[in-house]
């Protein structure tokens, strides 16, 4: 510190504090000089993994001046239903998170939420600086219609959902008019998908005048999911109705924007909302969050996009037959 200008140390600390808070806390405990220089960057990147941590973070933010609580990257992992019942925590986590978002709204650029609770609004708080949003929670159609706007939002990842609105394309355009990347996981027959299939069909035809999605959209990834209802023989036809439509749309896409991923086998599925695999999915969301902070592609990595090839007949059959082995 004696030989290196403070401005250079400050820049180094700013680049180092991107791992969810561990580096910021470590730097603060090295010395008084490190504590002072790292102070503006301590909250730059934060990850919380329990209701108790959410409480402590909220209290700390409320006690910290605005100029020292500039959070750019936030990852929240709410406790599972089992954890809530064991610790008897009141079901007010959503309110706490909304309060945290209000305190950091002006600086937040990347937000990832993992929760087994209902998330009633995609954006319950105005976040003018937000550029990337990932939601892995029980999201219903009303969460889209009740959402506030994010004028700078460029990447939206709906990592799971319960239902989609009838005008999903128009809702997304209203929420994020400058959206460039969209990913929706867990598309399946056993849940209300609104007008998603029709909107994707229009997108694939590359006719901008008919777009319901933002005209700035460059990439749209649709990840299908194997459904538990496939265990019942009489459900097979119902499920493959949506699968076959998505297969056709993905194969006939002329826009270059649409990528339809193959169905994931249920046992190892990473696209399906299921509390039994919540911890695994939340860990994956965090890894993608950290990768994006570091400048990586995260869930947008083209190498992880399996496009349905033209001429491939019923690609979902292989996944469906594979379920019998589990």
pLDDT in tens, 280-297: 788 889 999 999 998 999
How confident is the model at residue 284, as a pLDDT? 86
> Same structural domain for residues 60 and 77?
yes
> Same structural domain for residues 224 and 301?
yes
How confident is the model at residue 211, as a pLDDT? 78
Q: How confident is the model at residue 238 (pLDDT cuts 50, 70, 90)?
A: very low
> Same structural domain for residues 189 and 141?
yes
**How is residue 88 annotated by DSSP?**
T
> What's the rounded Cα separation, in Å, for the pair 65 and 60?
10
> Same structural domain for residues 25 and 154?
no
> Same structural domain for residues 94 and 242?
yes
Q: How confident is the model at residue 268 (pLDDT cuts 50, 70, 90)?
A: very low
Q: How confident is the model at residue 43 (pLDDT cuts 50, 70, 90)?
A: confident
Q: What is the separation, in whole angstroms, between the first and last Cα of the chain?
A: 59
> Same structural domain for residues 89 and 38?
no
> Same structural domain for residues 210 and 290?
yes
E strands, the chain, are 45-48, 73-77, 110-118, 132-138, 155-160, 181-187, 219-224, 258-261
How confident is the model at residue 266, as a pLDDT? 42
Q: Domain residues for 13?
A: 1-42
Q: Please return the burial class of 153, using the count of CB atoms within 10 Å of its CB with bins 0-12, 13-18 and 19+.
A: buried
Structural domain count of the chain: 2
> Same structural domain for residues 88 and 228?
yes
Q: How confident is the model at residue 154 (pLDDT cuts 50, 70, 90)?
A: very high
220: helix, strand or coil: strand
pLDDT digits (tens, 9 = 90+) for 223-233: 876 544 444 44
> Same structural domain for residues 79 and 147?
yes
Residue 181 has pLDDT above 90, yes or no: yes
> Same structural domain for residues 184 and 229?
yes
Tokens representing residue 239 in the block? 């499920």
> Same structural domain for residues 186 and 124?
yes
pLDDT digits (tens, 9 = 90+) for 295-312: 999 989 766 554 444 444
Q: How confident is the model at residue 66 (pLDDT cuts 50, 70, 90)?
A: confident
> Same structural domain for residues 160 and 31?
no
Answer with the one of 9, 25, 42 that is the final residue of a domain.
42
């Amino acid at each position: 510190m004696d030989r290196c200008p403070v401005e250079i140390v400050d820049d180094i600390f700013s680049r180092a504090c991107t791992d969810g808070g561990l580096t910021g806390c470590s730097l603060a405990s090295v010395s008084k000089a490190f504590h002072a220089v790292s102070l503006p960057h301590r909250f730059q990147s934060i990850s919380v993994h329990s209701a108790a941590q959410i409480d402590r973070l909220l209290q700390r933010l409320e006690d910290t001046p605005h100029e020292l609580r500039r959070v750019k990257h936030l990852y929240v992992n709410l406790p599972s239903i089992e954890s809530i019942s064991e610790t008897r925590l009141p079901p007010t986590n959503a309110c706490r998170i909304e309060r945290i978002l209000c305190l950091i709204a002006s600086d937040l650029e990347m937000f990832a939420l993992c929760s087994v609770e209902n998330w009633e609004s995609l954006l319950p708080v105005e976040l003018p600086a937000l550029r990337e949003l990932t939601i892995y929670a029980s999201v219903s159609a009303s969460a889209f219609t009740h959402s506030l706007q994010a004028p700078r939002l460029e990447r939206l990842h709906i990592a799971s959902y319960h239902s989609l609105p009838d005008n999903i394309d128009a809702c997304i355009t209203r929420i994020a008019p400058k959206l460039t990347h969209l990913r929706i996981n867990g598309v399946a027959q056993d849940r209300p998908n609104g007008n998603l299939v029709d909107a994707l069909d229009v997108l694939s035809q590359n006719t901008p005048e008919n777009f319901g999605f933002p005209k700035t959209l460059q990439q749209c990834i649709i990840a299908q999911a194997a459904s538990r209802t496939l265990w019942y023989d009489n459900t097979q036809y119902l499920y493959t109705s949506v699968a076959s439509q998505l297969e056709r749309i993905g194969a006939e896409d002329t826009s270059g924007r649409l990528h339809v991923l193959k169905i994931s086998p249920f046992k190892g599925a990473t696209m399906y909302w299921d509390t039994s695999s919540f911890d695994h999915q939340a860990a994956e969301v965090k890894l993608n969050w950290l990768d994006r902070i570091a400048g990586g592609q995260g869930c947008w990595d083209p190498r992880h996009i399996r496009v349905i090839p033209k001429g491939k007949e019923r690609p979902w059959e292989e996944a469906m037959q594979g379920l019998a082995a589990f």
